[in-house]
Amino acid sequence: MSLARFLDVTTSTAASAARPNFGNVHYGRRKVPEQPLELYEFEVCPYCRIAREAMSALSLDPIIYPCPRGGTLFREKVKSEGGRYQYPYLVDPNNGVSMYESADIVAYLFQEYGHGRAPWFLRQRAFAVSTSMLASGFRPNRGRHAVRSRQPDQLLELYSYEGSPFCRIAREALCELELPHQLRNVPRRSPDREGFVSISGQMKVPYLLDPNTGVQMFESDDIRRYLYRTYAIEGAAK
């Protein structure tokens, strides 16, 4: 294992430990949105993590529009639709609803798609924000800044769940490259795991599908290298 990989895995594992198991276990979903939810966010933002944890716990599959700092593709849409640059920003086309504020997003998702009340680790605001900030602190520069990229014609798909340190590494690359993707959340006990295994052959995440190239792959480091090789305009694979 290279030193870079060792540091990636240890810091990403430390980040996961700051929010142990939160969003890793399915928490009960009442219904599946007919049209996918849309989440504008960036990986290192602690408030965005809280919104993603809620999606993960509910096994919801939002389309993620990455909005890293310096990004030119989706940040502007949030400003023009919502009035300000602030992330996370949720759009639910099923109900014509859009909103800022991670606490409001969590409450809305559990009300609309769960069984009403969000779990304590998302409801206790001071705890959620401080531990999510701690998690971000372990990888302060990943999933934060945009890298110029070529945009794919079709949405990529990433099978993931929030607290996996390996999934984080794959999500950071998607974020930095501003690659919109459908995030398919398959936490433990998710009713969607069986369908996932029938596609991938084994229960292991992250798993990337790129319909633009036909690539399907496991392994966070390979995924990150693939994404940079295929879509980055400047710089070598990070």
Residue 148 burial class via C-beta count within 10 angstroms: exposed 0-12, middle 13-18, buried 19 and up: middle
**Please, what is the minimum distance in Å from the beta carbon of residue 109 to ligand GSH?**
13
Reading the block at residue 133, the tokens are: 């900030």
Cβ closer to ligand GSH: 77 or 204?
77
Say which amino acid occupies 167: C
**Residue 101 C-beta: closest distance to ligand GSH, Å:** 5
Of 72 and 202, the one with the shorter C-beta distance to ligand GSH is 72
Question: What 3-state class would DSSP assign to 194?
Answer: helix
Of 9, 28, 93, 101, the one binding ligand GSH by CB under 6 A? 101
**For residue 163, with 0-12 CB atoms within 10 Å meaning exposed, 13-18 middle and 19 or more buried, which class applies?**
buried
> For ligand GSH, which is the closer residue by CB, 129 or 155?
129
Residue 218 CB-density burial (10 A; 0-12 exposed, 13-18 middle, 19+ buried)? middle
* Interface with ligand GSH, residue 86, by CB under 6 A: yes
CB count in 10 Å sphere of residue 30: 12
Binding pattern for the stretch 163-202 against ligand GSH, x by CB under 6 A and - elsewhere: ----------------------------------------
Tell me which residues in 18-57 interact with ligand GSH (CB under 6 A).
Answer: 45-47
Binding site for ligand GSH (CB under 6 A): 45-47, 69, 85-88, 100-103
